[in-house]
Amino acid sequence: DVKVTQSSRYLVKRTGEKVFLECVQDMDHENMFWYRQDPGLGLRLIYFSYDVKMKEKGDIPEGYSVSREKKERFSLILESASTNQTSMYLCASSEPGGFSGNTIYFGEGSWLTVV
């Protein structure tokens, strides 16, 4: 089975703190993604990475950065957490997109509350 593991399920951080969300996948997937999910807004892509040290901005990258130093690990960084970043964060991974679509597998999610 594909396994995408997010290290923290629940976090409470203070405004202005630097926050690290870690994600590891065990399927040797090339692509990794960070989404956030909010009621009424659905899943929105923050950043994705298609190779080690490679990254591209998604739809809502402001206030976030990412790091991919190893193929299996993709980190999301909130440089200075703000209350509007309170959300559920989902990490995902997939094989590279070929002629046909490739399935994206998700982790269990990290609930972040910024107070």
Partner 1 sequence: EDQVTQSPEALRLQEGESSSLNCSYTVSGLRGLFWYRQDPGKGPEFLFTLYSAGEEKEKERLKATLTKKESFLHITAPKPEDSATYLCAVQPPSNTGKLIFGQGTTLQVKP
> Closer to partner 1 at the Cβ: 13 or 106?
106
Task: Please tell me whether residue 84 adopts helix, strand or coil conformation.
Answer: helix
The answer to whether 102 touches 32, Cβ cutoff 8 Å, is no
What is the rounded distance in angstroms from the CA atom of residue 85 to the CA atom of residue 68? 21
Binder among 79, 108, 113, 115 for partner 1 (CB under 8 A)? 108
Q: How far is the CB of 105 from partner 1 (least distance, A)?
A: 6
One-letter amino acid at 37 equals Q
Among 12, 56, 79, 115, binds partner 1 (CB under 8 A): 56
- Restricted to residues 12-51, the positions that interact with partner 1 (CB under 8 A) are 31, 33, 40, 42-43, 45, 48, 50
DSSP strands (E only) in 26-103: 31-38, 42-51, 54-57, 64-70, 73-78, 87-94
Can you give the binding site for partner 1, defined by CB under 8 A? 4, 31, 33, 40, 42-43, 45, 48, 50, 56, 58, 90, 94-109, 111
